[in-house]
Chain A
Amino acid sequence: MKLLRSSSGAQTVVILSIIVMFAVPKVLSEFGVMQATLFAAVAIFGLSQGFVWGYAGIMSFGQAAFLGIGAYTYAIAAINLGNTQVAGLLAIAVPMLFAALLGYFMFYGRISDAYVGVITLTVSVILFELMNSTSGSQYHIGDAVLGGFNGIPAIPPFAPPGKPDEPLDQIGVWYVAMGALIVAYVFLKWILASRFGRVVVAIRENETRAMLIGYDPRLYKLLSFVIGAGIAGAAGAVFATWGGFISPTVFALTMSAQVIISVLIGGLGTLIGPILGAVAIQYLINVAGMQHTIDPSLGLGIVLVAFVLLVPQGVVPVARSWIARLNWTARTPRANRAKTSEQESRS
């Protein structure tokens, strides 16, 4: 807990999340709890993109690939093994393996950032096509029929250890989802406070300098990419158990776009920003889904363009600097203020 004491912000976030975790089932209806579970799943997904993009500086445009692999792995393993703990662990491990392989080609090929974006995007498109083409009963892994664009129905929800026949109810799944979110957040905070995390951020800031000091940027980027994939896989497992159903649309570009917009809106280089952004965007999509005159993509597209043009840093960093400025204005006498701001603008 030394880590949490060192960062009062993280402490507040964790305490608030725990309050939310126990308050939601008391306050909301069963349908509300189900919606909240989806929000927790997209928040975990947002964390993975927020870490990979905001801290490691890797422009992954296909993070949905890992979400989808995690979700499918969970579904296939849960149906075949009947043990949802093992399925959950596999849903984290398999995307990490895949990311390690893909990342090796990208980072050890020393391709530029933009190419990383294009390749990750391409991979998620190909996975989408691949899963879409698996309709028919000849495509199955063990007992799990892949089902092409119809997806896999009747995925067993999480069950407590040793009691595979007593699956969790909606509220139980919510506790698992929220617990996973808190664990993912604390884990990333811990990583970022460690020596490894500092090197990762240093590489984002200046790759050449970090390399000259003796760190291998390729290895650190690869490891960050793999960690991000694991978290996205966990989000996929929660996502699969939330709906009890998974279809190739998890690989679709809109899924990657949604998480990128979430991180961009929430704020790059923060962890709370992606969480809030993911919840806000998912809420907007839910609201937009209730009417049928205008397609939700139009709204997402306009939001994305508007943020890139007007608020490229995202809401959380902008809000932080406003708060800092307000504090500063309140504390500093008027005469000093002009002088300091002149110095600031020069520096």
Chain B
Amino acid sequence: MVACVLSATSCKKVLDTNPTDRVPFDNAFSTPDYCLLSLNGVYDAAQSGPYNGGTERRGYPFGAANIEQGDCRGEDVINLAAFFQVTYQASYNSTAANCVAFWDNCYGLINKANVSIDGFKDAGGKGIITAALATQYEAECRFLRALAHHELTIHFARPFLDGAGAKDGVPYRSFAIASPTALEQIRSTPRPKVSEDYTKILADLDFAEANLPATYSTATTKTTRANKAAAIALKMRVKMHMGDWAGVITEGNKLVPATVTPLTWTSVASPIGGWTLTSAVDGPFTNNSSTESIFSVKNDAQDAPSVNGGLAGMLGSATIGGRGLVAISPIIWNNSAWKCNDKRRTALYVTGASNISTTNLSYFTTKYRDYATRGDFAPQIRYAEVLLTLAEAEARSAAVVSQRAIDLLNTVRNRALQAPAAEQYVIGDFADKVALVKAILLERRIELLAEGKRWGDISRNVMDANYTTGGIPAKAINGANGLAIYNCGGTYTPGQAAIPVTDFKFIWPIPANEIIQNPIIIQNPNY
């Protein structure tokens, strides 16, 4: 006590310490610069959150992991290592790390978006940033919120078309939770129906479309921040899951000119944002910010998923610096409807060593190329997807075989053909519109292969008698390798049995921790 009297200030100083590695909550929206930083932080949450509660970042939810899982749930890749084996073999349970991490990080992103939305509104109200900028930032957050909720829906809930959205959906979080009190609110909110999720997703996307800029000034942010075309394109994807083909066409026509000239695919440009296919099939991958990369999640050498999550390492061949953990499956590779001389087969795929063999080679994608520093952007929406989505909607909506659908399909496919003029699809190639839709669906598998889109297509088509896979399709057995299994046009018998859509494993379990901490959320059956 004597000492403290002698040096009263030093006693006080001992206790008066403050963090130096983070700013107080109230500061985070106190200047325009802080507001922008807080917006970037929401994008960061889309890029990388913690894996399994640890400090490692594997690119959950959208930095890499949704791509890797979206493919590993389907049949067009072969899993070669332990990382996604549980996903690939559908042996997940309610504590399986990959399913848990995806759920956890999607909601982490959603809450950061919601907390920041409040901050932006507040800053806009106080005049710290303009009202217009506050609304734009909010729109960016709501775009990400919609993206996350939609991915959650397709993994953790039955498809929309299973009972027209009447099945249990995923919790939709639309307010900030940054205190124990706010937390209590969600504890009385049961799982909504799938249809309610879709309604809210679309509301967010409508807001985003109305308030996002058509483009951004710098070369990288034009792809790595949400823009108007991204919101529209995502709406197309969402409505496609709902089977709302008229809606898809309405949205698609905002991004695709009324007439397209499939033989000069680079001439087909979006009226909003000017998005257009690159001339070469590997254009979107040689340049992360290409003219067709409508929205990608940024990664770079400074900030990327760990070696256990990076796209190039995971999906790339061990011969050229990858780790060779996920290979292309002969199920898609051998498909004769994918022309053997298609440019994509050589420009975007190579044979090479995997993590289990330097002698029994496999086919790997080269879409991702930054093997050492894992800086490939994680593509979420490409203009090619927009064209194929619109093509499918036109094909399904038309009474007969749709020429516009064929034109849109050709726009994408011609880029990959050796002789587009001679080889492109013509109306006579299709016996009926079902055949055309099937061709478009196959083209999606080919064009978007290794971009994580396969599960979405399986999920949305599984209830459609014409296009269903019946469930989780039969796959190559885990670890199948060796060039002998690859043969364009050849046959291949998958060794891992299919799982029917009626099986509970068709959808993922809600993490056990969610159910324990929030018992109002009921578990998916049999988990």
Partners in one complex: no
Residues of B within 8 A of A (CB): none
